[in-house]
Structure 1
């Protein structure tokens, strides 16, 4: 029960700071990771260390490549690692799946809103017919005039809450 309270607390704080300042703070994520390790070691010993360690590495590994490609900030990666350290490998993996789905829906809505539905459909069909796409450059920010970004912490928080409420698939 204490783990879920800590999880929901860091999610609320991270959501607030990511919306307000577009930052997920180290003062939230790093102590959470430390707390998770101490808690799980204290309650389960070496088994708890492995539980937190595997969850931490899974959370870190799931978002490290998008971070290295410039698609998200380090705070997003640390938040997912903290979620993994608190809740374990299976939980963070399901949270990631929900997060990716929610993030995709948010991105699609923002693209349609920015370009309009008709232009978005034209671009989609052009991409399919001619096998060309500028979507990657749009999302990675190569074309600054059509770049779309949003605080990905929103998707992480919503995806993690979905995993907490509904569990896995």
Structure 2
């Protein structure tokens, strides 16, 4: 039952994120409530603790990137819902794999948009000069517009890979 709910939640979230660039509360909040209730009724207080800890880990892993403007609140709520459905260990590994996938997608998009030469300059000049203006003067010679993508893609595949690897 949980596998079906998890699959539906991440699939619907993927579709809405691709289509409208939104992960809907009408999907994430019921998933959170279902996860917490399911574990409470089936495993008692230990189950609620299991699901609640998963919820908190899922919420916290992407909270800082959200607060820094790197992702939307829907992404954070989706990870919290995944945590409530799967527990802390699963959502932690899922977040790690999701971050790797998201980083890979971001690198591909940066290279595609700004070119390989600019990307290599960014890698070699911005890291040593992160705290100075010299790095940004060298790197920002082109358009400084941001690159974004629906992070639901990374969350979907990160969760699927974690499920295939660890199970539920």
The verdict on a shared fold, with TM-score over 0.5 as the criterion, is: yes
What SS does structure 2 have at the residue aligned with 1:147?
coil
What SS does structure 2 have at the residue aligned with 1:45?
helix
The RMSD of aligned alpha carbons is 1.9
- Pairs within 5 Å for 1:95-134: 95-128=94-127, 130-131=129-130, 133-134=135-136
Unaligned runs of 5+ in 1: none
TM-score normalised over the length of structure 1: 0.89
- Does the C-alpha gap of structure 1 residues 144 and 73 become closer, same or farther in structure 2, counting only changes over 3 Å? farther
- Does the C-alpha gap of structure 1 residues 82 and 111 become closer, same or farther in structure 2, counting only changes over 3 Å? same
Q: CA deviation at 1:129?
A: 5.3
Q: Partner residue of 1:46?
A: 45
- Does the C-alpha gap of structure 1 residues 125 and 89 become closer, same or farther in structure 2, counting only changes over 3 Å? same
Q: Partner residue of 2:63?
A: 64
- Does the C-alpha gap of structure 1 residues 26 and 35 become closer, same or farther in structure 2, counting only changes over 3 Å? same
What SS does structure 1 have at the residue aligned with 2:89?
helix
Q: CA deviation at 1:11?
A: 0.7
Q: CA deviation at 1:130?
A: 4.5
TM-score normalised over the length of structure 2: 0.89
Equivalents in 2 of 1:71, 1:97: separation in Å?
Answer: 16
